[in-house]
Chains A and B, each alone.
Chain A
Amino acid sequence: MVDFGGWDMPLQYGSQLAEHHAVRRAAGVFDVSHMGIVDLNGTRVRALLQLLLANDVGKLTVAGEALYGCMLNESGGVIDDLIVYFLAEGSFRIVINAATRASDIAWIRRQAQLFGVEVLERADLAMLAIQGPSARAATATLLSDGGAHAALDLQPFCACQIDSWFVARTGYTGEDGFELMLPVADATRVWRGLGSRGVAPCGLGARDTLRLEAGMNLYGNDMDEDTHPFESGLAWTVSMQPAARRFIGREALEAIQAAGSRRKLVGLLLESPGVLRRHQTVIAPQVGEGYITSGGYAPTLERSIAFARLPAAAGNAVQVNIRGKLLDARVVKRPFVRFGKSLVH
């Protein structure tokens, strides 16, 4: 067990590698109740989110659609990354990180007052992520016929309310699956029900190797208040159009964009045996140095991968200092793995 944002959480239930493979090959379930679920209600909630987020909730037009994005400070640094779900006009739900929950909510409340938006923490809800090629089918067996139908009809990155459960086809593993937000009183029964259907319980360790292979950033490792989206591999989550949308951090990002970002976040593949780890130094020959923001062993690839923040001019052949030895690594596109298949050649 480890402390994670104030929550006691298991790194693994059994073998972390077995948990990882269960998700890539069949299905696994993660208790992610540490994530903060916050509902925002009010007639001007869309305008509030268009101020708070670098991505544009104007893209959410149909109830149930979800969007990933970052909340920035005035300097363009990332306060948190989150998923926002469009529930109904005047009602959105966001899911934020555990470690930043209190500061996020304070920040959101400050802005929300001006918009007359209610900020409602949903501590009454637990959250389970069921991920893997057979995850949706396994979850559907826990629902009524009608509910199962609605859940299985969901498009990727969409959600719907099924009785007291909020079912979202989202995740953090690079596999298909659901994230369920459900009353705390239901959580244990659902956890056990999934277990009896062969869904493997998975801990934080597997969650980390899965998201790493899937090329997904972890807040606090790969970006934070001192780094901006353009040097964190998150340019795709920044919506500079329409130009009239003056979101917090926009001016800083415009200046960075005009000058060109000095650094970039890339995927790295270690060419030899060994394990890339966070904080190791990366040398880009003739260009300069960078560092690994997240690294580890990729069980699907059976080799080590990492994310590294490098000078913008760095080429594809780099070296990593591992305990004083310089080992060759190659810059590759993220994700490394998607839907159980290696994308690395």
Chain B
Amino acid sequence: MTKIPADLKYTSSHEWLRTLADGTIKVGITDSAQQALGDLVFVEVPEAGRALQSGEPCAVVESVKAASDVYSPVTGEVIEGNPRLAGAPELVNEQPYDDGWLLHVRPTPGGNATTLLSAAEYEKLLQTQGD
């Protein structure tokens, strides 16, 4: 039921990463995460230019139920937060891996990154968490 695209990397805190052709990275939350949160009603994304350390809270997703932090999987600089989410937070529910992306980051070469999981490893993690 939960979608886990094979071409993405994942974190144990339920973010996904997509590395683009130019080496920049898009980050979002996984299908499993959006399902657990329920209907999203507010998303706070970082300003362009903000410096991020891997593992630090970089965005907030709020559903009808609760507010949750999103953690930056890499060290780098924010190119852009998804501007569409201010008016349409439900995009994260509807298309978590596409139009519902949260931030676009230029990673610092040689910068720290969170331990990243393959799709298979992330799927295993969800199974052990009982999702």
The residues of A with any CB-CB pair to B shorter than 8 Å are 11-12, 15-17, 205, 209, 273-275, 277, 296-297, 299, 304, 323
Contacts and interface: CB of A to CB of B under 8 A. Distances in A.
B39 to A, nearest CB: 4
Interface string B117-129: 0000000000000
B39, B64, B86, most chain A CB atoms within 10 A: B64
Nearest to A277: B67
Interface of B: 38-39, 41-42, 44, 60, 62, 64-67, 86
A296 B42 contact: no
Interface SS of A by simple majority = loop
Nearest to B90: A17
19 contacts: A11-B38, A11-B65, A12-B38, A15-B38, A15-B39, A17-B41, A17-B64, A205-B65, A273-B42, A274-B62, A275-B62, A277-B66, A277-B67, A297-B42, A297-B62, A297-B64, A299-B64, A304-B42, A323-B60
A112 B82 CA distance: 62
A275 B41 contact: yes
Contacts of A297: 41-42, 62, 64
A264 B91 CA distance: 39
Contacts of A15: 38-39
A168 to B, nearest CB: 28
Contacts of A17: 39, 41, 64
A12 B36 CA distance: 11
B60 A16 contact: no
B64 A296 contact: yes
A16 B39 contact: yes
Nearest to B87: A273
Nearest to B69: A323
Nearest to A209: B64
A299 B60 CA distance: 19
Nearest to B39: A17
Contact of B38 (A16, A275, A299, A304): A16
Nearest to B86: A273
B96 to A, nearest CB: 15
Contacts of B38: 11-12, 15-16, 205
A209 B66 CA distance: 13
Contacts of B42: 273-275, 297, 304
Contact of B67 (A16, A275, A299): A275
A17 B86 CA distance: 18
B63 to A, nearest CB: 8
Contacts of A323: 60, 67
B78 to A, nearest CB: 18
A35 to B, nearest CB: 22
6 tightest Cβ-Cβ pairs between the two chains A and B: A297-B41, A17-B39, A275-B62, A16-B64, A275-B42, A16-B39
Contacts of A275: 41-42, 62, 67
Contact of B64 (A205, A273, A274): A205
A205 B37 CA distance: 12
Nearest to A322: B67
A56 to B, nearest CB: 38
Contacts of B65: 11, 16, 205
Given A15-B38, A297-B64, A299-B64, 13 more contacts: A11-B65, A12-B38, A16-B39, A17-B39, A17-B41, A17-B64, A209-B64, A273-B42, A275-B41, A277-B67, A297-B42, A297-B62, A299-B41
Contacts of A304: 42
Contacts of A277: 66-67
A153 B67 CA distance: 44
